[in-house]
Structure 1
Amino acid sequence: MGKTYKGKLVVLTNEFSQSQAEYTAMAFRAGDNTTVIGSTTAGADGNVSPLFLPGGLKTMISGIGVYYPNREETQRIGIVPDIEVKPSIEGIKAGRDELLERAIEIISEN
């Protein structure tokens, strides 16, 4: 087996993170030295199935529940970050990526 990464890992999420991005955040969080930062994800994980409605309308629904290994639900709840970091108006105006800046701070800490 190859070498395993032993360093710090920071996963960035926000309300637009959904589906596979939520699975990925959950999987990385299960490892050592992982910190999830940002805002809570969309809570839209699980399979997607079509639902056909009268009048030729069609919508999509998620038909299964998704859970952490400890049985906590993620569907409609999302992945809650370990550290909440949201862009500020001042940061946006200045062209800063405050989420990335915080991730770099975490990785740089001893």
Structure 2
Amino acid sequence: MYQAQQWYQKHPLSHRAHGHYGMQLNKSGMYNDAIKFYESTSDLFPNDPTKSLLWLEISCNPKAKPAPDKRKLLHIVQHGAHYKETIAILLDFIQLLKQINVLVLALNIF
């Protein structure tokens, strides 16, 4: 966590440092701090959907609120630059949705 914070403080406009710091907050259980971080800094990267997608991922936790604005998120995903991190996050979401579907199907069997 300390290393991520130092990296972000030295390079606040780095896409990678920004995303890494927010996710480290999340991994440390500081969900609302991570959301506040993304909420207050997401406009720094208007063409980068990864920040809003990471924010959305964190907001899926019932202890974390609020979620990013869905219209704005959709616009960024449709019109923004698709970095390799964006593609990786979207693939993670697809995998998660598949797992949820399998779980729902399994629960419906019983």
User: TM-score scaled to structure 2, two decimals?
Assistant: 0.29
Kindly name which structure, 1 or 2, has the bigger radius of gyration based on alpha carbons.
Answer: 1
Greater share of strand residues, 1 or 2?
1
Greater share of helix residues, 1 or 2?
2
Give the structure, 1 or 2, with the largest relative contact order (CA under 8 Å, sep 6 or more).
1
User: TM-score scaled to structure 1, two decimals?
Assistant: 0.29
